[in-house]
Structure 1
Amino acid sequence: MYWGMGAYGRKKKLTAPESVVAVEYSYTVPGKTEYKWEKNDLTMQYWFKHLQDIFNCHKSNYIHFSDNSSQFDIDDLKQLLGNTAEVYIENTGCYTFNQMILQKFSPLEKLSFRTSIFPNSTIPEGILMQNFDKLQIGIAGTIPLDQLLLTNSKIVCIAGLQQTAKKLNKFIRLWQSGSNPRMEYLSILYNIANRGDKEVIMKGIKHAIIPADHERKFKMARNGSPKLVKGGIDIVRVDGVKATIRYHPMPSLEMFVWFDHCVMET
């Protein structure tokens, strides 16, 4: 690896690694065994393809960008890794690099990120409006209600949300009126919860309490693992689609939308 001029300035270029280390672990024997090749002259592309052949995995299903990723040339990374179904972006050290990840690896089926990857932790509306199968947002802070209404993904997971119970009540009311029509599953993990929030969230919303011993199976998008839904609060959208809201002590809220293709036999 060396420093050279990439498409976006001076970046680390991917070349033949000076050495290659393989680590073997065993379920039956404690410890590990390391194998090391010195003065290797095979390219990074060769080793990547070699590993893909060994494990019969010819596509990058998931790419995680984290600390100091922005030191590398994005075009080199794209050429090496190719297309992928899912990207997770943490603090890479550069807002511009984060934006280039989204441009170079688009389209995506699943996108996960921390809000801090954007200037002022403000999520671009164009990201929220994309048709992801899954959108996962971490350390969300305060997300305006109008931004929540822009989400157009099937699965939406938000952690660290600072949102009032009244705003969540309004979100549910607007969903009942037809907003977020593609959403099949919503998960919100709050930072702060107050006593009586459940009552405020459901205030004025017609609903039915489902007994805790009543079980239903929910099929997640893209062949995700089915979820067993025990009890909950049922609500209905204007077009007749039913949803179930469940609360957890973390505190968190889940919302399951029972489209026909999401219903599984129990």
Structure 2
Amino acid sequence: MYWGMGAYGRKKKLTAPELVVVDVNSRYGNTSSNWTRNSLTMQCWLKHLQDIFNYREIDYIWFARNSSQFDIDDIKEVFGNTRRVVIGRSGCYAFNQMILQNFFSVKKLSIAHSSFPNSKVPGRVLMLNFEDLDIGYRWVERTILSLDELLLINSKKIYIDNLQMSAKELNKFIKLWQRGSNPRMEWLAIKHTIVKEDDKEAIIKGIKHEIFPSDYIRKFRAVEYHRIPREIKGGIDIVRVDGMKATIRFKYRHSFPAIEMFVWFDHCVVDS
């Protein structure tokens, strides 16, 4: 790497890597190779690997610790577009904003509250039409979203980790969904919530529903699972004002509660 004048001042440039590690995972096993050829630039290495594996897409770009030291324009020039961007602890709020500006066309976005000033995800980000929006940094960071902010989300698949929202607020969210909020949502998953198993009744209080046993199995395919459908065992069915059905499931694994909501759009229904 070297330092040069890049976007917004002096930034590191992407140059010829000293070492390239290639991990190949397949049904036959995993292999790892270390390649050294300093004459190739980062962009040449990328093209070389794309030619070898006959795969042109960049599945995702992960901006991790200290990535803010690099020139965002240089990163965009080398890697081009990607379907998914993961914004981790880059070390700079302004850099995180530049990531969103340069990769505004991504279909999938993973973010944490700590990626933004005052640990608050901007409403303009929540309102974008993502296929997939993940919020949270595993269970090590609390995710604080108000009910109004949750209602702003316009993504198809919504995954929220460690959400600090009460059973009463979740009950309000479901009722508002029944009235027409979050119309694009296909799948909602809330993991490591503060609600407890006893809160199940509070979450569905006042909501007309039908309970199905665990041996009643349906297949669901959301935008994230376009190849392999998921088996939905049992659950609590509710209906939106326009007749759209959804299934709510409560899961408790390793003492961490989770709530899932599946919306049965026609393209999500998989015939058995």
TM-score normalised according to structure 2 size = 0.90
Distance 1:171 1:90, change over 3 A: same
Partner of 1:45, secondary structure, is helix
Contact 1:219 1:226 (C-alpha < 8 Å) held by counterparts: yes
Q: Return the alpha-carbon distance in structure 1 between the equivalents of residues 43 and 130 of structure 2.
A: 29
1:6 corresponds in structure 2 to 6
TM-superposition CA deviations, 1:12-41 (whole Å, max 9, x none) = 012233x3345678999999664433xx23
| 1:99 has 2:97 as partner | yes
Q: Return the alpha-carbon distance in structure 1 between the equivalents of residues 25 and 230 of structure 2.
A: 32
**Residue identity matched to 1:243:** A
TM-superposition CA deviations, 1:168-200 (whole Å, max 9, x none) = 000000000000001011001134233521010
2:214 corresponds in structure 1 to 212
Instruction: Tell me how large the CA RMSD over aligned residues is.
Output: 2.1
Cα offset, 1:43, TM superposition: 1.8
Q: 2:240 aligns with which of 216, 237, 258?
A: 237
| 1:225 has 2:228 as partner | yes
**Residue identity matched to 2:204:** M
Cα offset, 1:239, TM superposition: 0.3
Q: Return the alpha-carbon distance in structure 1 between the equivalents of residues 25 and 159 of structure 2.
A: 35
TM-superposition CA deviations, 1:122-148 (whole Å, max 9, x none) = 011111111111111114522100000
Distance 1:117 1:215, change over 3 A: same
1:142 corresponds in structure 2 to 144
| 1:258 has 2:264 as partner | yes
2:202 corresponds in structure 1 to 200
| 1:162 has 2:164 as partner | yes
Contact 1:12 1:73 (C-alpha < 8 Å) held by counterparts: yes
Contact 2:158 2:188 (C-alpha < 8 Å) held by counterparts: yes
**How much identity, in percent, do the aligned residues show?**
58
Q: Return the alpha-carbon distance in structure 1 between the equivalents of residues 261 and 146 of structure 2.
A: 19
Q: Return the alpha-carbon distance in structure 2 between the equivalents of residues 45 and 83 of structure 1.
A: 13
Q: Which runs of structure 2 are paired with 1:167-186 in the superposition (5 Å)?
A: 167-186=169-188
Partner of 1:172, secondary structure, is helix
Q: 1:72 aligns with which of 70, 76, 91?
A: 70
Q: Where does structure 1 lack aligned partners over 5 or more consecutive residues?
A: none
**Residue identity matched to 1:200:** A
Q: Where does structure 2 lack aligned partners over 5 or more consecutive residues?
A: none
Contact 1:152 1:183 (C-alpha < 8 Å) held by counterparts: yes
Q: Return the alpha-carbon distance in structure 1 between the equivalents of residues 210 and 146 of structure 2.
A: 28
Contact 2:133 2:158 (C-alpha < 8 Å) held by counterparts: yes
TM-superposition CA deviations, 1:58-105 (whole Å, max 9, x none) = 121211110111010000000000011111110000000001001101
| 1:113 has 2:111 as partner | yes
TM-score normalised according to structure 1 size = 0.92
1:45 corresponds in structure 2 to 43
Q: Return the alpha-carbon distance in structure 2 between the equivalents of residues 95 and 186 of structure 1.
A: 27
Q: Return the alpha-carbon distance in structure 2 between the equivalents of residues 185 and 29 of structure 1.
A: 32
Distance 1:32 1:228, change over 3 A: closer
Contact 1:162 1:190 (C-alpha < 8 Å) held by counterparts: no
